[in-house]
């Protein structure tokens, strides 16, 4: 699989040989994205070059290299042309340069630890509301339940809107849109979205549903006004540029769609994997419940309890190590440069994969093992920086990282206290990477609820 290609720099970048002359490694990547990444990490120590059709690419495999790209040279890279605008248009996830910096500055206060304290009660309230609807012996789909609760939380905390009773329709529309976005990479010959094929009509309908519901929230807020409210939607509505102009309605919609999408899909994935892993590791599940029972004594957890529930936090972090929802992301070099001695010419696609980093045995010994003790404060401190990067790093680090960590820990505690889940036997719970945008189980994850 290894061929050496001469570069002008001191280090030679080894290239993975593709199966097809023109397509390079694209077929292998499209067949199974995770397997392709794993294979590269197995074959190469430091970095691996490959061609995805005409796109010259490099996968970085050392934590120092990630620092170089994501932090040190952050502004020498763009997010790249591979980023798809179907969801979120020019929202925060996609936008670039000065415009991105301005939008990020505008939204950052709503995600700072000081501010998200006020979200804790909403998170646990929806967790309690959901578990109260379950009875012992009932079979539920954990994937659907975790999506519903995280959607409700993002709706209430950031938009002050209650979508708890409409999460089925809402999340179904997101699933269709995510699948469309994900298959953009796998079906390059697909007819453009504005052609009225049955599939395109289904995708257009889903996108319309999301936009219409978000527009309703925006219209409602225009009617009721933003006085005295400091949710993110009000912040976006009140923003003015240097000329005193408000954000355009298209930009507002793009930001709202981005936040709704990014704000629930990833956390729902992590929580679903968390229950799946806990059910497979009863000793760890028991330790979680012992911690929760001891600390909470039947109370609903609050923000102040977070530091008293360290094991729940460790579990959530270890889940994101094994199943990082954003399993890989890319950058595009804006100028010729050198990273760790490798030549990275302008236009090269740089791939960064939390999934690959999190399974490197030199960072995480016995990497396949689910072991929340890797994240005790003492052991976490010993990890090399950028070896654990579920939220990325640098100026484009996930804006919702504290939000997500708090939500994960609080929902684990809230639900573990009230119920135990038992996975239905015979299920194959696995990702279907060509259908989902993130690393999440595809389809139902069926579990029986036992009330405690």
The footprint of ligand HEM (CB under 6 A) covers: 79, 92-93, 104, 154, 258-259, 262-263, 266-267, 270, 320, 325-326, 329, 390-392, 396, 398-400, 403-404
Q: Which is nearer to ligand HEM, 404 or 410 (CB)?
A: 404
Q: Report the residue closest to ligand HEM, judged by CB.
A: 400
| Min CB(412)–ligand HEM separation in Å | 12
Residue (27 or 76) nearer to ligand HEM, CB: 76
CB atoms within 10 A of CB 198: 6
Q: How far is the CB of 69 from ligand HEM (least distance, A)?
A: 10
CB-wise, 218 or 449, nearer to ligand HEM? 218
Shortest distance, position 12 Cβ to ligand HEM, whole Å: 28
Residue 204 and residue 265: Cα distance in Å, rounded? 20
Nearer to ligand HEM, 131 or 272 (CB): 272
CA distances from 315 to 51, 276, 327, 409, 413 (A): 37, 12, 18, 8, 11
How far apart CA 187 and CA 79 sit, in angstroms, is 21
Pick from 445, 410, 354, 364: which is nearest to 141 by CA?
445
Structure tokens at 100: 């991105």
Would strands 337-339 and 342-344 be described as parallel, antiparallel, or unpaired? antiparallel
Strand bridging mode 349-352 / 55-60: parallel
Shortest Cβ distance from residue 256 to ligand HEM (Å)?
A: 11
Q: Which is nearer to ligand HEM, 134 or 363 (CB)?
A: 363
Q: Least distance to ligand HEM from the beta carbon of 20, Å?
A: 28
Look at the alpha carbons of 84, 90, 92, 98 in this order and tell me if their dihedral is positive or negative. Answer: positive
At residue 343, the 3 state secondary structure works out as strand
C-beta closer to ligand HEM: residue 92 or 140: 92
Overall size of the chain counted in residues: 452
Q: 48 forms bridges with which residues in the sheet?
A: 59
Shortest distance in whole angstroms from residue 88 CB to ligand HEM: 8
The nearest distance, CB 76 to ligand HEM, in angstroms, is 14
203 or 326, CB closer to ligand HEM? Answer: 326
Q: Which residue reads 């979120």 in tokens?
A: 88
């Amino acid at each position: 699989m290894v061929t050496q290609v001469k570069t002008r720099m001191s280090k030679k970048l080894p290239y993975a040989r593709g199966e097809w002359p023109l397509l390079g490694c694209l077929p292998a990547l499209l067949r199974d994205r995770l397997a392709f990444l794993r294979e590269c990490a197995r074959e190469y120590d430091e970095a691996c070059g490959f061609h995805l059709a005409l796109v010259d690419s490099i996968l970085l495999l050392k934590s120092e290299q990630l620092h170089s790209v994501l932090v040190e040279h952050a502004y020498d890279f763009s997010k790249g042309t591979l980023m798809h605008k179907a969801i979120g248009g020019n929202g925060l996830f996609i936008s670039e340069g000065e415009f991105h910096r301005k939008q990020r500055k505008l939204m950052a206060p709503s995600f700072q630890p000081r501010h998200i304290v006020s979200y804790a009660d909403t998170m646990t309230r929806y967790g309690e509301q959901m578990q109260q609807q379950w009875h012992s012996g009932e079979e539920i789909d954990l994937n659907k339940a975790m999506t519903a609760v995280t959607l409700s939380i993002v709706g209430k905390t950031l938009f002050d809107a209650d979508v708890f009773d409409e999460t089925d329709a809402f999340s179904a529309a997101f699933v269709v849109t995510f699948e469309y976005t994900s298959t953009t990479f796998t079906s390059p010959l697909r007819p453009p979205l504005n052609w009225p094929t049955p599939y395109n009509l289904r995708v257009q309908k889903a996108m319309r549903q999301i936009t219409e519901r978000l527009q309703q929230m925006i219209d409602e807020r225009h009617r009721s006004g933003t006085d005295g409210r400091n949710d993110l939607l009000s912040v976006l509505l009140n923003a003015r540029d240097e000329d005193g102009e408000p954000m355009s309605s298209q930009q507002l919609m793009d930001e709202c769609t981005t936040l709704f999408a990014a704000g629930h899909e990833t956390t729902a994935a992590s929580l679903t994997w968390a229950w799946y892993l806990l059910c497979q590791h009863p000793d760890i599940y028991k330790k979680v419940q012992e911690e929760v029972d001891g600390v909470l004594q039947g109370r609903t957890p609050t923000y102040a309890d977070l530091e008293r529930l360290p094991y729940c936090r460790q579990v959530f972090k270890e889940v994101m190590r094994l199943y990082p929802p954003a399993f890989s992301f890319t950058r595009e070099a804006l100028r010729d440069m050198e990273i760790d001695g490798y030549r990275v010419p302008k236009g090269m696609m740089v791939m960064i994969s939390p999934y690959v980093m999190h399974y490197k045995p030199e960072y995480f010994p016995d990497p396949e093992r689910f072991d929340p003790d890797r994240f005790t404060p003492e052991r976490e401190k010993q990890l090399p920086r950028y070896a654990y990067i579920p939220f990325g790093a640098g100026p484009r680090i996930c804006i919702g990282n504290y939000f997500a960590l708090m939500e994960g820990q609080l929902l684990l505690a809230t639900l573990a206290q009230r119920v135990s889940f038992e996975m239905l036997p015979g299920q194959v719970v696995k990702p279907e990477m060509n259908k989902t945008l993130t690393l999440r189980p595809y389809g139902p994850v069926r579990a029986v609820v036992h009330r405690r």
